[in-house]
Amino acid sequence: MIFSFKGNTFWVDLSQGFMCCDTNVLFSGDTVDFRYLGFPAKYMLHDIIKSLKLGPMEMYRTMGVSGGSIKFVSINTPATDAAAGKPPGRPCHDATALANTTVAVWTLDQGGLCWKKDVEFRLGNLWSQRDYKQSGLPRMVPVWPFLRPHAHGTLYFLVPKPMTGPSDPQMYHICGLDMCTKKIQLSQYSVRSNILRPAAFPTNAFQHLDESPLATS
């Protein structure tokens, strides 16, 4: 993935880290000074074979701009932990393993070119909160995390809906999560996606997400 922020262009490998450079120099014809920074050590996916089996890394990770800073988001399932070299634990479908899945958010310190952790939480703790229970969302591991530049402190993702039949398309809830208060925003819309590509959102999906009752509760 590629994005720009405050005069710099970033090229991101979501399994390893990123490199960046001054955007103006990139097109000036002068020598370009690239800088590289890996993700925090526990998020480096060293096992290439297991990493490939995960599918697109965008299903579990993202990096981008949110509220005037650059964030790195990682949903850490047993499968991603195995790709990072951790000892195998419970099977991925095990209820305890799902509850122990963590979501971590880091902020990039551009001056020192280092990562600072914002928050990390277990899905089990999120599922037990009143707001989550009131939302009616299933206890499923979220996928396709993403950020919005003007939505400070909010992480967005898709939560799979339970499938009623083997031939039914996989549908997802569009959700937002305040990373400080853990309050849930829930869109009235659902989207369809598959493992090969992210979902296409309805034009006014975020308007309804921002105005949802849970967003202001």
Predicted local distance difference test score (pLDDT) of residue 80 = 79
Report pTM: 0.82
CB atoms within 10 A of CB 128: 12
CA torsion through residues 81, 113, 122, 164, sign: negative
Model confidence over 99-121: pLDDT tens digits? 889 999 999 998 888 999 999 99
| pLDDT score at 110 | 85
Q: Which residue has the higher pLDDT, 196 or 66?
A: 66
Mean pLDDT of 191-204: 65
193: number of Cβ within 10 Å: 18
Closest by Cα among 79, 19, 73, 16 to 45? 16
Question: What is the overall mean pLDDT for the chain?
Answer: 82
Q: Where are the domains of the chain?
A: 56-216
DSSP H helices, 114-203, are: 123-127, 130-135
